[in-house]
Amino acid sequence: MVKWCIREGWKALRRYPGALVGAFLIATAIQILVALPGAGSTEERQILLTLVALLVAGPLEAGQSWVVLKGVRGKGPKVGDLWEGFRRFGDALLAYVLTSLIILVGFLLLVVPGVLFWLRYSVVFYALMDRGLSGREAMEESSRLTKGHRGRIFLLGLALLGVNILGAAALLVGLLVTMPLSYAAMAALYEQLKAEKGSKA
């Protein structure tokens, strides 16, 4: 599974570098811009920026997931597909808030539960965008698809972590390749899990 997912992710990145890297760059730039305090920033402005960052994080995550999923499928993704996540704003926001809180609480209580929750919800945004599910339905679908495969997903996560550490070591420029590759590899994982278990009716 690990080698196959990374190989399929790499194929998608090589075939559609502009779309995958471009979507990652735009999403990252937006998140950085809304997180910057700015000169003369007040506490109220910081609270507002934090809220904006929270509101856009889910749709951007969903949009990136859609771009790379189309890439893995060979469906000709475009950078503009990133904005499809905002068409699912409410569902993407709900999925992001719920999964983030659950994973965060898991890490605060003990590291292992946090990792287990991440494995459980690792394909939530791919399911959300692929099948038009609600936020809660996408979480349930991710849980169903990953059940029985979380050991292999953990190994894939470790491999991608290592890849991104190497990317960061290359003066951070390498992340322009390794991060889109990671998203694409996870999209390939979703495709494999769905092929094995089928889509829940």
Please state, in angstroms and rounded to a whole number, the distance separating the CA atoms of residues 99 and 121: 7
**pLDDT tens digits in sequence order for the chain, 201 residues long:** 899 999 999 999 999 999 999 999 999 999 888 877 655 567 777 788 888 888 999 999 999 999 999 999 999 999 999 999 999 999 999 999 999 999 999 988 878 889 999 999 999 999 999 999 999 999 999 999 999 999 999 999 999 999 999 999 887 788 999 999 999 999 999 999 999 877 665
120 contacts 86 by C-beta, under 8 angstroms: no
Q: Which of these, 137, 99, 104, lies nearest to 121 by C-alpha position?
A: 99
* Largest separation between any pair of C-alpha atoms in the chain: 54
What is the per-residue pLDDT for 26? Answer: 96
**pLDDT number for residue 171:** 74
Candidates 179, 178, 93; CA nearest to 139 is 93
Q: What is the pLDDT of residue 181?
A: 97
Quote the pTM value: 0.92
Sequence ranges of the domains in the chain: 2-196
Rounded CA-CA distance 182/128 in Å is 18
The closest alpha carbon to 24, from 167, 189, 184, belongs to 184
d(CA 201, CA 185): 25
